[in-house]
Amino acid sequence: MSEFKGLPEPPALGASALPAGTFAGTAVIVTGGGTGLGKAIAGEFGRLGAAIVLLSRKPEHLEAGRTAVAATGARVVTASCDIRDAAQIAAAFDVAEKEFGLPAVLVNNAAANFPVPAEDMSPNAWRTVVDITLNGTFFCSREFARRHMAAGTPGSIINIGATYAWTGGPGFAHSAAAKAGVKNMVETLAVEWGPAGIQVNGLVPGLFPHDDMTADIQGNLARTNDKDICQPALRVGRLRELGWAATFLASPYARFISGHTLVVDGANWQRRNLTNPPVVTVRDQMGRGPFVP
Ligand code: HXC
Ligand code: NAP
């Protein structure tokens, strides 16, 4: 193993495969764009000339996102919004339209997740994750499509997913089921809305650790081995790599790509073992004692 170096590092932050100004005159909404991957995606659109609209619940996240995006030189507006609530989404779109006109790109990045053995999960915990991740993604997509249909303008939607949409996700039953719904919805909406000029794609990150990860997720990662050696790429994803994929999918160079879900994970989700390792239960992986009804 030691002779192998894994997949090469990408170019440095600030590089781009797309021409400068690709998104000049275009506004882009990124839900959950104040933290982590959403903030990185918003930054890449900003670097390419887009005006950015950040939507999420917490003022401190929106402020952090505003600062990061403004540092790219982009114009940015924030709107407080819980994507579980269709009325709040409509109000946030009004803010965006007033500031920049109707955004041509929607990145549905906001999601909810925490590790929990399925037998321990309360009905409200299940509902909360499905409501944010699946229902919220649909409500935002619907608002975007209705406004474009009314205006007669084209648009591009990117839904951020997860690989356990295909594989299942032990310890994440709620999020895996919701992300499977998101992937399926990409395929339906791309067909329904293609005639109206609306492209719908999925974009799936592999493991992209970052400082904004919730304590639950960070704790889950901290319990396991070094992350790099657990990936076929021998490294985790760099945030800019996901941003580049998002800007490509929404660019004029990808107009005929629709209904597709692109996985950016160094082939980690395809990983199989030559011989099966011993099964370790989710409870044991999480260091939990026996189930107590
Ligand atoms: C068990 C939990 C829990 C936990 C919350 N709940 N955290 N159950 N284990 N760790 C339960 C609560 O007890 C409650 O159920 C229900 O979930 C709702 O909790 P609230 O705190 O009232 O919900 P809310 O304020 O709406 O917050 C939503 C949230 C929170 C999901 C719980 O964590 C959040 O806001 N997260 C946003 C950011 C996020 O999740 N990012 C992760 C994206 S990463 P009861 O029954 O008690 O009422 C990702 C992939 C990463 O998706 C993959 C990495 C490997
Ligand atoms: P994160 O930093 O926790 O981001 C989640 C964002 O969603 C936060 O900015 C949060 O902002 C927003 N959000 C949550 N609930 C919301 C609600 N009800 N309404 C509006 N906004 C809400 O996580 P991340 O790692 O960047 O993840 C981003 C996306 O990538 C998610 O879709 C996630 O499933 C996916 N993903 C990430 C990884 C990874 O390795 N990082 C792997 C696979 C998939 P507020 O709290 O301010 O609302």
Q: pLDDT tens digits for 103-147?
A: 999 999 999 999 999 999 999 999 999 999 999 999 999 999 999
Confidence of residue 1 (pLDDT cuts 50, 70, 90): low
Q: What is the mean pLDDT of residues 14-20?
A: 97
CB 208 less than 6 A from any atom of ligand 2: yes
Confidence of residue 53 (pLDDT cuts 50, 70, 90): very high
Spacing, Cα 109 to ligand 2 middle (Å): 6
Look at residue 208 in the predicted model and tell me its pLDDT. Answer: 97
Taking the complete model, does pTM exceed 0.95, yes or no?
A: yes
What is the distance between the terminal CA atoms of the chain, rounded to a whole angstrom? 45
Q: Which helix (H) or strand (E) holds 141?
A: helix 136-151
Mutate to test the pocket of ligand 2, among 109, 131, 139 (most ligand atoms within 8 A of CB): 109
Relative to the CA of 60, which ligand 2 atom is closest? 47
Q: Which domains does the chain carry?
A: 27-266 (3.40.50.720)
* Both structure tokens of 118: 């399925």
Look at residue 222 in the predicted model and tell me its pLDDT. Answer: 85
Question: d(Cα 46, Cα 101) in Å, to the nearest integer?
Answer: 16
Q: pLDDT tens digits for 166-208?
A: 999 999 999 999 999 999 999 999 999 999 999 999 999 999 9
Instruction: Report the interhelical angle of 173-193 vs 136-151 (nearest 10°).
Output: 10
Question: d(Cα 281, Cα 287) in Å, to the nearest integer?
Answer: 10
Q: Which ligand is nearest to the CA of 78?
A: 2
Give catalytic residues, as residue numbers.
164
